[in-house]
Amino acid sequence: LHCPAPLSPGLLLALPAGAARHVQVLRLQPGDALTLFNGEGGEWAATVERMGRSEVEVRVDAHQAVEREAARAVHLALGMPANERMDWLVEKAAELGVASLQPLLAERSVLRLKGERAEKKQAHWQAVAVAACEQCGRNRVPPLHAPQDLLAWLRALPAAAGAGETRLLLSLRSGAAPLAQAVPAAGPVRFLSGPEGGLAPQEEEAALAQGFVPVSLGARTLRAETAPLAALAALTLAA
């Protein structure tokens, strides 16, 4: 369970509301064992000490230096799909080991998120990522960045030379190389994927200017949430 607090052996602490709810759902009882992670690496064995109506107190036991991250860092930047499709994508990307997620507002995006609504959505998606990590046993929660305008995000990226990552644009253009041919044997990869309506020509040009190389996932047009997940899975599960 995610408990974003400093943890140490012998510490007694009240779980945050989300983790406490999870303990109630699992019907754990005093004396039962559970595993905590706080995002600083590894996991902590813990024991339920006391349960109230909604509060759960646990005792932290030993630290276990277990690492569950994918061998390769794969970052996804994508035109946010609308409705619950983005929730679905965040959940699956967290399970598949994504290193970070950057939702983007593109010219042809259906979802026009800005301001306070965007902040609320970001917090919601980060919570979806936490829940996915708890469910799959991942002990580091991938950062979910604030939604940004695609062109502004591209402009703010460090220059490709020296960035130490391979940048790949998921593209339906003829001439885009098959993914497997464009991926180096190791090293971080950043994917950019379009929204439902695809990228506008000037967005594609801006991506190419920032060092993104067009790659293809085959002859079928995948949905805006399927394409980045397929690319992510191809890389994190292959290692």
- Closest approach, Cβ 42 to ligand SAM, in A, equals 36
- Reference 217, options 162, 163, 172; nearest CA is 172
- For residue 21, give the H/E element and its range: helix 17-25
Residue 118 vs 224, nearer CB to ligand SAM: 224
* 9, two tokens: 């052996």
Q: Shortest approach of ligand SAM to residue 238 CB, angstroms?
A: 17
137-166 residues near ligand SAM, rule: CB under 6 A: none
Judged by CB, which is closer to ligand SAM: 82, or 172? Answer: 172
Q: Which of 46, 80, 224, 235 binds ligand SAM (CB under 6 A)?
A: 224
Taking a C-beta distance cutoff of 8 angstroms, is the pair 57, 36 a contact? no
CB contact at 8 A, 56 and 48: yes
3-state secondary structure 106-126: CCCCCCCCCHHHHHHHHHHHH
Q: Of these, 189, 194, 207, 229, which contacts ligand SAM (CB under 6 A)?
A: 194
- Give the number of residues in contact with ligand SAM, rule: CB under 6 A: 18
In DSSP terms, which residues pair with 177 in a beta bridge? 215
Q: Which residues of 92-103 are buried (b: 16+ CB within 10 A; e: fewer)?
A: bbbbbbbbebbb
Could you say whether residue 196 binds ligand SAM (CB under 6 A)?
yes
Judged by CB, which is closer to ligand SAM: 222, or 234? 222
34 versus 224: smaller Cβ distance to ligand SAM: 224
The residue from 20, 141, 227, 232 that contacts ligand SAM (CB under 6 A) is 227
Q: Greatest CA span in the chain, whole angstroms?
A: 62
Task: Please check whether residue 207 is in contact with residue 170, taking contact to mean a CB–CB distance below 8 angstroms.
Answer: no
- Within residues 200-219, the interface with ligand SAM by CB under 6 A covers 216-218
Q: Are 31 and 48 in contact (CB under 8 A)?
A: yes
Radius of gyration (Cα) for the chain, nearest Å?
20
Rounded to a whole number of angstroms, the minimum distance from the CB of residue 151 to ligand SAM is 15
Taking CB under 6 A as the criterion, the residue among 77, 99, 170, 207 binding ligand SAM is 170
Contact positions toward ligand SAM, by CB under 6 A?
A: 170-172, 193-194, 196-199, 216-218, 220-224, 227
